[in-house]
Amino acid sequence: MRTRLARIACLFVSAASATSAAVAVLGLASSPALAEEKSGPAQPGETPSSAVPAGSPKADAAAPADRAKAAAPRAGAKKKASEPPLPPAPARVWLIAPSPRGPWTLRIDNDGERPMRIPADVRLLRFEVDTLNKRTKKTVRCAAPAGLKPSGFPERRALLLAPGQSYMEHFDPRLLCFGKDAAALAGGSVVRAWYGWGPPPKWSRKAPSPPFAVESTDDPPAFAPATGLAAPTVVLSYGLPRKEAAADDPDGAEPPSPAGEQAQPSADAAARPEADETARPAGDKAAQASADGPAGEAAAPRAPSHRDHAAGSPGGLIVDANAPRLELTSEPWSDAASPRSIVVRVSARNAGKRPMTVAIRPRMLEFYVAGPNGTTVCEASPPMGAIPRDLYRTLKPGASVDLSLLLREVCPDNTFAREGLYRVTATLHANEPGTQLGLDAYTAIVPATNSTLLRVKSAPEPFYAAAPRPVPTPKPPEADEGQAPERDNEKDDDAKDE
């Protein structure tokens, strides 16, 4: 215990001696004599600059100069940053949608005073559709798939727009809103369109990088480039134009024009009637009867129509509404990566009230294809008369037969040579009567009640066949001169009545 106390005392003594030594050193540093020694002449090994005291006038004068030199680069950086930014691109995008089904029009205007460069490609367009249907999701996003949309700037579609020029293209909106998303294109839906590539994130401070949806052709540029352009919001109408209303007529109007670079209504109307007559097999009893009979009369029994009910006179046509008859339907849409993988599925159902015996084979299907390159008829095989008894089946009322067919096997090689949208309409030629087997099989030409919308993402030929061309910017429609006087006359009449 004494030894520990002695050690502690020694430690206190050593600490006290160290404290006194430090105080002595501080006292010497603050003494006037030591200050005089420091202010004396400089030693031979010291430079003159080191001999200048910190509080002297020379040191005070040198400090602002050093600060000015250090601040010189920052001042230059501020001058560069203070340069006025370039004005935004004077380009406007318009989406003209007269009806929900299309065709729609894409229009890009140059409202500036200098030329610009744009990618004239409708595949760079994307939509956000707000629907009113509570069963579906509220917002539907539509865009071209990865295989169809160009990954970079499409150099072949580069277009130079002079001031006062525009680019216009007609397209089918179902090229972007395909499959189930097409249900969002209905009356009352709100469509917000964006053309080009997505803008950089809001938190990013970097300048936009190419590809650009619009850029200046001048050097230095006359305006800032833009990666994308927003179109004004559009609300789809509930009505249909007259041409589309005629196309929806079930009595047999021409189908809508195929999607692509431009609509082709005249080619579709001219090709449809010729294809139906030339594709009929010579040995088909139903085809001959329908060709020789009056228009609208089918060879096989069919359901009564309003014309049949109107024929109440003694020589009128009597129709057996319970007779067996086939009804052909096809899938509403099909998405194919290439022409090799195009598959169309159809279903033949007995819509009558009595059973039937019929032979249905995939080779009996005929397809009418309307696409960017025009129209093509993939003909069905003629009757062979060599079908075995096992291939004849009995369809009860309501029973159906499903068929799947690769269109590459029945259509010409260049039918789907281009990317884009196609409309495929199937027709069943049930042309095997079974007389060689002692059967009385059902025979008829049965067109499908609906068409299949087909989208080909990749094909040997490009999406566009011709180079883009600018057109003068359309002027807004002017108001009729006679409207103003009429309104004034109405106001005068109201004043007289009062």
**What proportion of the chain, given as a percentage, has pLDDT over 70?**
63
Question: Residue 427 pairs with which residues in a beta bridge?
Answer: 366, 447
Q: What is the pLDDT of residue 20?
A: 59
Q: What is the pLDDT of residue 298?
A: 37
Indicate the pLDDT class of residue 239, thresholds 50, 70 and 90. confident
pTM over 0.85: no
Indicate the pLDDT class of residue 376, thresholds 50, 70 and 90. very high
Strand, coil or helix: 294: coil
Indicate the pLDDT class of residue 445, thresholds 50, 70 and 90. very high
Out of 18-27, 149-158, 316-325, 423-432, pick the least confident. 18-27
Q: What is the pLDDT of residue 243?
A: 58
235-254 residues labelled b (16+ CB within 10 A) or e (exposed):
ebeeebeeebeebeeeeeeb
- Tell me the domain boundaries of the chain: 91-235, 254-295+322-456
Residue 324: C-alpha distances to residues 302, 329, 349, 441, 446 (Å)? 8, 17, 10, 11, 13
Q: What is the pLDDT of residue 84?
A: 84
Q: What is the pLDDT of residue 205?
A: 73
Is pLDDT larger for residue 303 or for residue 213?
Answer: 213
Burial class, 420, CB count within 10 angstroms (exposed 0-12 / middle 13-18 / buried 19+): buried
Domains 91-235 and 254-295+322-456 share a fold: yes
Q: What is the mean pLDDT of residues 193-209?
A: 80
Has residue 231 got a pLDDT over 60?
Answer: yes
DSSP string for residues in 144-204: --TTTS-SS--GGGEEEE-TTEEEEEEE-GGGTS-GGGGGG-STT-EEEEEEESPPPPTT-
Has residue 307 got a pLDDT over 90?
Answer: no
Max Cα distance, the chain (Å): 146
Q: What is the mean pLDDT of residues 308-328?
A: 74
What is the per-residue pLDDT across 396-438, written as a single tens digit (0 to 9) for each? 999 999 999 999 989 998 999 999 999 999 999 999 999 888 9
Between CA 394 and CA 434 the distance in angstroms is 13
What is the per-residue pLDDT across 37-85, written as a single tens digit (0 to 9) for each? 444 444 444 444 444 444 454 445 455 555 545 555 554 544 455 678 8
Q: In which element (H, E) is residue 125 found?
A: strand 125-130
Has residue 490 got a pLDDT over 70?
Answer: no
**What proportion of the chain, given as a percentage, has pLDDT over 90?**
51
Class of domain 254-295+322-456: mainly beta
Out of 117-131, 199-213, 329-343, 443-457, pick the least confident. 199-213
Between CA 237 and CA 367 the distance in angstroms is 33
Give the right CATH number for 91-235 from 2.60.40, 3.90.1640, 3.40.50, 3.30.60. Answer: 2.60.40
Indicate the pLDDT class of residue 209, thresholds 50, 70 and 90. confident
